[in-house]
Amino acid sequence: MRTKSRYSTKNRCRLWPLTIQGFWVIILLTNELPPQINTRILLVDDEIIVLDLLKSAMVELGHDFETALDGEEAKARLKQSEFTLVLTDLTMPRCDGMELLKHIKEEYPLIEVIVITGHAELHGYTDVIRAGASDFITKPFGIDELEAKINRVIREQTLIRKLEHLSMCDMLTELYNRRYFELKLQEEIPRAHRQGYPVFLALIDVDRFKTYNDQYGHQTGDRLLHEIGKIFMHYTREKVDWCFRFGGDEFAIIIPYATVDQASQIADRIQERYRQEPRYAPTSLSIGLAKFLRHPGFSWAEDIADLVARADKALYAGKAQGGNLAIADSSMSYPE
């Protein structure tokens, strides 16, 4: 299984340094936003004077923003662009702030909402918070108050994103974990079928890992698993292939947008690099490789289970022959 190809490096699960005792402190002191969060704010108010004041505040605070004069216009903006936060008045024509808030929570649950009102007697703080708002500002307000509330909401949103990110990661290897593997397959497989690109799955097992652990100790075994993660990062394509640790000494790689030869070479290159390191003896890698196939009458869950089962069968066919082999499922020989 060989072809010539070049692959980028460093496709890994980003981790923030954490300790159990200092978990909350360390996260809360990490104020930078993850790369995927683009702070963009939608300003909604039917009073031009207030809207102009909000726009000036956004410029001063350095936030990207768009504006809308009522809830209906805001709904249109939400369809057209992505926003981190909505600042909305409560009392507006056509679609008021409470109706807009309900719409956002139903259709865009990840968007935070801060409600601004000059009529607190109509809807109190408790009302808007129960409806899903993140905070409440009463007119008139100062830029310091506005800045503090925006920063708090963004900081909390960032914390949630980081915690979600950490829940997807294997802390030892810095690869993604089994939970995220299952979610990623459920996302990638239907999309690949819709868009017409192939997806391959490699399942990897470390041969004689228990012997290695017994001989050198669990700390050395953990270092070996960490180094395996680094090898996977180096020989897979950045932002294309997805690497996972199932747990123990079991790993997986999802390989989309590839030919049979390219998928095979990824497996070969990983295995060859591993064989070159005498420190890893007596361990070796067994790899099972399979291509996703759509079966008439199968649900997506059944097709995904079939892909995993075929890759697993190929993996254990190699292990039955003594390991240190990359075995391709028969699907790899189908016409592309």
DSSP 169: B
CA 13 to each of CA 123, 126, 203, 232: distance values in angstroms, whole numbers, following the listed order: 44, 39, 18, 12
Distance CA 228, CA 278 (A): 14
Amino acid at 273: R
- Catalytic option among 70, 96, 249, 303: 249
Identify the sign of the CA torsion 187, 190, 196, 198: positive
What one-character-per-residue DSSP string does 256-323 give?
Answer: ES--HHHHHHHHHHHHHHHHT-GGGTT-EEEEEEEE----TT--HHHHHHHHHHHHHHHHHHHHHTTS
Distance CA 85, CA 110 (A): 9
Is 249 assigned a catalytic role? yes
| Residue 253, helix vs strand vs coil | strand
User: Radius of gyration over alpha carbons of the chain, in Å?
Assistant: 26
Distance CA 226, CA 173 (A): 4
Distance CA 283, CA 329 (A): 23
* Contact between residue 255 and residue 201 where contact means Cβ atoms under 8 Å apart: yes
Active-site residue numbers? 249
